[in-house]
Structure 1
Amino acid sequence: MTRILLTGASRGIGAAAKTALAERGAKVIGQATHSAADDMVAADFAEPPAPQQLWEDALAQYGGEVDVLVNNAGLFQANPLSGSDIAWLDGWEDTMRINLTASAQLSRFAVKHWLERRVSGRIVHVASRAGHRGDSPDHWHYAASKGGMLAMHKTIARAYAKDGIFSFAITPGFTDTAMADDYLESRGGAGLLADIPLGRVAEPEEIAKMIAWCALDAPPSMTGATLDANGASYVR
């Protein structure tokens, strides 16, 4: 049975991924900022010690072994240039801490874990189209955090493929979640769909299928790849 640690598992893409992975027979421990569910662990990534505590909790629950890490947790909040200097800086640092630094900490723990045991492992990074094409003037921080995640993903793939440690990234565009709904409304609502040739935003279940495939099925030769899922709104 594949043992998976999935962050941001309480809603949206994360909740759909948790279901998809469980349906494939994987054992999934999900992270949420606040959680009371038996198969979820509460960890607030705004707090620097939280990723390490989460990793240790997952190891304890899994008997000392984790096979796959899925970095999905994310913060998406507007950070307008017109705000005060300290408010803008706080918004930047909060987003980096949750979206990038926590993912980096967990990825480091996972890579060290697999190297020490001389076993194979997989990391799936849920980034964003924004990491490629940028985002709105109020979301410099979000785009930068996801661009950083993609650079980290490529580095991990190149550094540890020889050790059987594989890294995959997924870059959704707009997805039908509460987070995306807030963004669509801030950018003019349904009119923004004109920029998506598919004519609709992605469903969380679509992204979840991609996560499950990367976690369980993707061939090793695909390590380092980034899979786009944006309805052809950004093609590379």
Structure 2
Amino acid sequence: MLITGGSKGIGAEIVKQALEQDAYVILQYNSNSPSQIGEFSPDRVLTIQSDFMKIEAPSKLWHTALQWKGHIDVLINNAGILEYTNPADNLEDWQNTWHRTLQVNLVAVADLCKEAINYFKHNKKSGVIVNVSSRAAFRGYGPDGMAYAASKAGVVALTRSIARAYARDHIFSYTVAPGITETDMVTTFKNKYGDKVLEKAREDMPTNDFATPQEVARAILFLSTGDMKHSTGMTFDIVGAADFH
């Protein structure tokens, strides 16, 4: 498995559970060096630093990852950024935030999907792609997070397009769309909007709590098995019954 954004939050939990299930993992990270893999043999996990702000980084990552064991069966696109800007900001700040967000959250994802599709097709083997989107793809984020919501909506459309185009090649793609999850995201949300807004968001969840990284990781790894062939292209929401679509 090639897992991006695997050093913290949901990504770190995906890596942990994948290794516990005897997978071989290539873990991509950018600025946060992974700390959760110390108990596993270097033969089981390879870490690669890669900055998706650089347009050549996703392709280089794929080919470096491929050299490790000679094949990749599953791609999990989990890496992403959330930067705030709104229409009241000056044009340069607004555009820079949009460009960075789309590059990391959508273009880099598309580039890795491109590499995976071509590899799976060339080798005439089945493969699985799981792309992590967000609840914001469907309900929006508000004026500060338009770029984030738009990028995550693009991930959904990308995943559906892959499913329609390549299911006959036994390439299956899925989207997992979590809502607020008990990670650093909660702290960021709290610092940005305050305790009252955070608690209101929790109360709006029929389950009256937020998802955990463990729950999200379990869903992603279940889809990674390839056993859900007829669900290819689907989005799996992890939002505590707050939204349906």
> What is the TM-score normalised by the length of structure 2?
0.91
Would you say 1:16 and 2:9 are equivalent positions?
Answer: no
What is residue 122 of structure 1 aligned with on the other side?
A: 128
1:155-170 residue pairs with structure 2 within 5 A? 155-170=161-176
Would you say 1:25 and 2:22 are equivalent positions?
Answer: yes
Would you say 1:233 and 2:242 are equivalent positions?
Answer: yes
What is the distance in 2 between the residues matched to 1:184 and 1:105? 33
Would you say 1:49 and 2:56 are equivalent positions?
Answer: yes
What is the distance in 2 between the residues matched to 1:35 and 1:194? 32
What is the distance in 1 between the residues matched to 2:227 and 2:162? 16
What is residue 112 of structure 1 aligned with on the other side?
A: 118
Residue type at the aligned position of 2:107: T
What is residue 179 of structure 2 aligned with on the other side?
A: 173
What is the distance in 2 between the residues matched to 1:154 and 1:210? 18
Kept in 2: contact 1:79–1:138 (CA 8 A)? yes
Seen in structure 2, the aligned counterparts of structure 1 residues 201 and 115 have a Cα distance that, compared at 3 Å, is same
What is residue 85 of structure 1 aligned with on the other side?
A: 91
3-state SS in 2 of match to 1:70: strand
What is the distance in 1 between the residues matched to 2:2 and 2:205? 32
Kept in 2: contact 1:76–1:179 (CA 8 A)? no
Structure 2: 5+ residue stretches without partners? 35-41
What is residue 47 of structure 2 aligned with on the other side?
A: 40
Residue type at the aligned position of 1:47: K
What is residue 38 of structure 2 aligned with on the other side?
A: none
Kept in 2: contact 1:121–1:164 (CA 8 A)? yes
What is the distance in 1 between the residues matched to 2:90 and 2:150? 20
**1:171-216 CA distance string (max 9 Å, x none):** 0000011123212442323232121111111000000000110111
1:185-204 residue pairs with structure 2 within 5 A? 185-187=191-193, 188-204=197-213
What is residue 222 of structure 1 aligned with on the other side?
A: 231
RMSD over aligned Cα atoms: 1.3
What is the distance in 2 between the residues matched to 1:73 and 1:170? 13
Kept in 1: contact 2:8–2:32 (CA 8 A)? no
Residue type at the aligned position of 1:50: A
Aligned-residue offset at 1:54: 0.5
Residue type at the aligned position of 1:120: S
Aligned-residue offset at 1:35: 6.1
Aligned-residue offset at 1:221: 1.2
What is the distance in 2 between the residues matched to 1:218 and 1:183? 35
What is the distance in 2 between the residues matched to 1:75 and 1:180? 14
3-state SS in 1 of match to 2:92: helix
3-state SS in 2 of match to 1:41: strand
Structure 1: 5+ residue stretches without partners? none
Residue type at the aligned position of 2:243: Y
